[in-house]
Structure formats: structure tokens, C-alpha cells
Structure 1
Amino acid sequence: MNIGDKVRLLHGNEEGTITKISGSGRIEIEIEDGFKIPAMKNEVVVIHQTEKEYFGKEKSGAPSKAESLATVKSHQPQTGLFISYVPLNDKDLSVHLINNTDKDYLFMASEVFGDNSRTLASGNFSAKTSQKIDEKAIPQFEKWPELFFRFIPINHKAEKTMPAFEKKVKFKASSFFKSQQNAPVTGKKSYLFPLDHQTKSLDINQLNQELNNASAQPVEKQFKRPDKEIDLHIEKLADDHEFMSNSEMLRLQMETFEKNLNYAIASGMDEISFIHGIGNGVLRKEIHKYLSQLGNIKYFQDTQKNRFGYGATLVRIN
């Protein structure tokens, strides 16, 4: 049993990825929604690949639609900038940056420690090349610092100017150890992640300013009425959520919740439901705590058990 193994609890339905092993027989498991739960080694069983392959197939023996799409996607050429973790043995990984584009870049790659940082590599990054920047130990996965990248495109002739961009990366075990595939350029089997997919974050300060200025113009022109049901699952809010820490995901979910609740109130809606899932209940607790402090909420409650499994909250507005 090693860090990165997929396991199932013997006395429950939870499945997840081992992120930490201690000498006392205790382990830490990261489940699908990004939350971590403690367990003993004798309380879990490793899910072997043969089991996954057997039970993952449809009864007809034909590949599912999702499997067919995944197969097609795996054969499509992967273009862009990537970070690749190549296994050296069962404990160590070699970290590489990959430039599978036709553009040269200036780059900098750093590890972030709060207000401090350590530069791993910098310089020219030619098209269709890779550069090794570090090595990492799998047993220390939970202690890996956040990564920060900056890329500046180079134009060797007069052509359209592309903007420079930055990227922060913090891995979760549940997504990291699922990402193994053959990397472009090197062709090596590795844990592979794109670096040039950007996610637009919500500007909560701008939102608050909009709400404070609501009286300056008619409500129907200032606010767009939100849907009656708002899905707060992280995969609905961010394309690159696998790079986000638990706190970053929770912050984005709460910002989305607050924005849509404010818009619902401002546009005169009577009620709105927020789908937050079950998980370990952290997001639900934060939502209920926030609602309990508002004076213009008639009441709120868990709702629609059959549809959401008590994974949603209905808010009635005064």
C-alpha cells in the first residue's frame, strides 16, 4: 500500500487516493470532492486495475460512450505548455516542462512558500522541447509547495503579439495520480498537466461595488436574474480545478454562492436553491452559517432529497 493507491473503505462506500502514510498504521485518504479523511490500513482495500477494468465495462462488453470519447481524446495531438512528472522508480519523480507549441518563450518556474519563493529554472524555452526543472519524492507529496510559472512569448519576426501569462499550481492527490499518460515531445509515460489553460476568477470586490451602486439605476437593468438552481460543484465553476487547493475551491464556491444570492435578492426572486453536494459538509456548513447572519432571508432548509440526496439548500427570500 503506497501513496497514490486508489482504495475503498471496508465499512463504507467512500473511495479515494492515499495521500499520507504514518508509521502507526494510519493513512489519509483524499476522496473525490477533494476532502481528506483519516483511516487505518486495515480499514481499507486497494482497488486493483483489473477490478476497475472488469467492473468498469458495460454488460454488453462494448465500451461506454465516455470510454469512447476518452479513447478519441487520447489519440488527438496535445499542443500547449505542460508540466510532466516522470516516474524514476516507485518513490521518485523527475519534473519536466514541455513546450509542444510552435512558439518560443521566456519562462520562470518557482516554488512558493508564503511570501517567499525559490526559482527552480528560468531562461529560453524553445518550441517542441522539454526541460527538467526538479525532482520530487512521492512520500512527500503532501508537503510539495505551490508552483508558480510565468511565460512570455517571443516573436522572432513581425507577427501578432500574444500576451504573457502566469499560472499557479497546487496538486490534489485525487486528480494527480489519475493523470498518467504519454507526454508530448518526450513520449514518456508521466503525470501530465497543461499550464496554458487559463481560468477567469470572480472579482468579489467588483461584485460588491455593483451591489452598492444598485440604487443608481433600475434593478432589472443592473442585475441579471439567476437560475432557480445554482450548481456549486467545483467542476462546474473552474476548468482547471485539479490545480486548486481545498481552500481555493471553497473560496470560489462561496463567491459564486454569494453573487447569485445577492442577484436573486436584488432581482426580486422569492426563492433559490444551491446544489452543494454532500461530501464532508464543509461547503454546506459555510452556506448555512452565511445565511443565518442575513436579515432578509425568510428561512433556508435542506431540500429535494430524491434529486440531490440532501445535497442542496433551498433559500426563501423575504
Structure 2
Amino acid sequence: MNIGDRVRLLRGNEEGVITKISSAGRMEIEIEDGFRIPVLKNEVVLISAAERQYFGDGKVVEKPTIENKTSPITKEGIFLSYVPLNDKDHSLYVINLSEKDQLYMVSEIFGTNSRTLASGVLSRHSYEKFDQKSIKDFEQWPSLLFQMIPINKRAEKTLPPFERKIKFKASAFFKSRGKAPLLEKEGYLFQIDQHSQDLDIKQLNQTLNEGNKISNDPKSLFHRPAKEIDLHIEKLNTDHQFMSNTEMLKLQMETFEKNLNYAIASGMDEISFIHGIGNGVLKNEIHKYLSQLENIKYFQDTQKSRFGYGATLVRIN
């Protein structure tokens, strides 16, 4: 077994990607919700081939039991690609598949410090190699910061610059196989100029407060959320592979709070939140939050036949 291999726990339903292997036979795997758990080597079974089996003959072999949940690649955009040189080392490329030249800079981030890896002008429909990394050092890879400014060579609409900070999680990284545009080589591929809207929980709370001042009938002010809210991170953000565990948990909790507020305000009797099993961090945060509310009758694990105790039912006063 190697770092990047996909495994399943023999005594549970969890699947994950190996992120660390020790000489004592212990390893760390990152499960689907982004959390990491320590296991012994004899407690897991391999369910996907090692990375060299994907790239050894130059062809990508898709396993039917693995679902690629990454965002679809659009025809235009800015891409980051990790292209294998061998079974360990990868070349890093920034690819400009947009219709404009880009003034760009790529940096490694170390807390409040940074190191510039590459900068300059990246012509339209071109690429640039800016670094090389080894898979065995995956856990030590620093965050990458991309800063891009579109260049107008004539008077035309000004497009805003953008920057993107990226820190990979193993479970997302090793599922993002694809052919790098222009390079026409298999590797790990990410579109870095895709953005998704963030939930603004402060604005939501402000709206709730203002709405209660305007009307005594909140049911007329807020839409009723679905009776079952799925909090799995892939349902909330298509770019979750770029998020840290803290950022994912924050988004999941904001989504939970938003829908709970709407459920209360619209007069719902109950609502269920599907959080999965994992290592219980999200579930514990939800239960801690609910235990502090006065307008909740009770909350409990839902029926096993429906969610396998991976959800919480909330009864509202």
C-alpha cells in the first residue's frame, strides 16, 4: 500500500485515501468528509490501484467502484495540473485555456510568509511548468496561492483579477484524475478560476431579525426548507477539494444554522440534518448547538433504516 491508495475499513463502512504511513505498520487515512483517522495496516483493504497503476502504461484505468465527484472541467479557464514523471514525482503546470493573456504569480504560503515559484505573462492557450513535487511528501506540501490579472491588448471589457489559495486534501486530490488540456497528458487536474457563492450567515441572521421587527407572522417571510437537509460537503461546495477541514466544518455548520433558522421561522414541526457517520465531529457540533436552544423540543438520531444513524432529527416547539 502507498500514499494515495484508496482503502476500506474491514470493520466499518468508511472508505478513504492513505495520507501517511509509518514504519510501525500504522497509517492515516482521510475519509470522505475530510476527517482523518489512524488505523493499522491489517485493518484496511485496498479498493483502488496505487498511483503507478494509473500512470504506468500511460493510460488511466477507471475503477467501476470509484465515483469521480470532481467538478466538470469547462472549455475555458485557468487550470493547475500535476503530471507524473514517474510513480513518485510530478511536474506542476499552470495552464491558460482562456482567451486572454494573463499576468500571473504562483507562490507557496508558509503562514505569514511566502515564496514566489513563478511569475510573468502567460499567453492565451499556453502553459508553464513552475515546480516539481513528490507524492511521498504530500502531507508536507504547502498551500499554493495563484494570482491572475487578465490583460487587455485593446479597449474592451475589463475583467476583474482573481486569486486562489489551494491546500489539497488527499480524498479530493487522488480522485481528480484527468487529461491536462494543451499538454494532452494524464495527471491530476483542477480548474482554479471556478468560484462558488459562500453562504453569509451574518446576513441571514440580520434578515431574520429585521423580518421579526416588520411582521409578527414569520411564516409569511421565509421559505420552508426541505424536511431533510444533506450536509455532506460535496453537496454544498463543488470546490471542496480546495478547502481545509476547518473551512468545510464552518460551511456545514452555517448551512445547518441557516436551514434550522428558516425551519423555526416558517413554523415547521421538525427537520432532519444528514451529516453522515465519519468520526462524529460534525454530529457533535450540531448536537452541542441544539442543546443550547430553548425552542427545540428534542433532537435524536433518526431511524437506522433511513440514514444508518448518520442524521439528526430536530423537533421544534
Structure 1 residues 24 and 293, CA gap change in structure 2 (3 angstroms): same
Distance of 1:235 and 1:108 partners within structure 2:
29
CA RMSD of aligned residues (A): 2.5
Query: After superposition, where does 1:1-318 map in structure 2 within 5 Å?
Result: 1-49=1-49, 56=64, 78-218=75-215, 219-220=218-219, 222-318=221-317
Q: Which has the higher helix share?
A: 1
CA contact (8 A) 1:78 1:184 kept: no
Query: Partner amino acid for 2:222?
Result: F
Displacement after TM superposition at 1:77 (Å): 7.6
Whether the 8 Å contact between 2:88 and 2:135 is mirrored in structure 1 is yes
Q: Measure, in 1, the Cα distance between the counterparts of 2:62 and 2:238.
A: 30
Following the alignment from structure 1 to structure 2, what is the Cα–Cα distance between the partners of residues 211 and 83?
41
Gaps spanning 5+ residues in structure 1: where? 58-65
Counterpart code for 2:110: F
Q: Give, in whole Å, the separation in 2 of the partners of 1:255 and 1:172.
A: 21
Alpha-carbon distance in structure 2 between the residues aligned to 1:258 and 1:11: 33
SS of the equivalent of 2:86 reads: coil
Q: Is the 8 A contact 1:230 1:273 kept in 2?
A: yes
Shift of residue 194 of structure 1?
0.7
Cα deviation for residue 221 of structure 1 reads: 5.1
Report the CA distance between 1:82 and its aligned residue.
Answer: 0.6
Whether the 8 Å CA contact 1:172–1:243 is kept in 2: the answer is yes
Post-superposition CA distance 1:190-227 (Å, at most 9, x none): 11111111011112222222233233322245432222
**Is the partner of 1:279 in helix, strand or coil?**
coil
CA shift in 2, pair 1:45/1:312, >3 Å: closer
- CA–CA distance in structure 1, aligned partners of residues 114 and 63 of structure 2: 45
Give the direction of change, closer, same or farther, for the CA distance of 1:223–1:3 in structure 2 (3 Å limit): same
CA distance in 2: counterparts of 1:54 and 1:94, whole angstroms: 22
Could you tell me which amino acid in structure 2 is paired with residue 25 of structure 1? G
Q: Distance in 2 between matches of 1:310 and 1:227?
A: 19
Secondary structure in structure 1 of the residue aligned to 2:198: coil
Change in 2 beyond 3 A, CA 1:118/1:224: farther
CA distance in 2, matches of 1:279, 1:44: 16
State the shift of 1:274 in Å: 1.0
How far 1:19 sits from its partner (Å)? Answer: 0.5
| 1:63 matched residue in structure 2 | none
Query: Normalising by structure 2, what TM-score?
Result: 0.87
The whole-number CA distance in structure 1 between the counterparts of 2:312 and 2:11 is 28
Change (3 A) 1:122 1:135: same
User: What do the CA deviations read for 1:138-184 (whole angstroms, capped 9, x no partner)?
Assistant: 11211212222222211112223222222221211112112222210
Give the aligned partner of residue 61 of structure 1: none
Alignment length (residue pairs): 303
Q: In the aligned structure 2, how far is the partner of 1:126 from the partner of 1:84?
A: 17
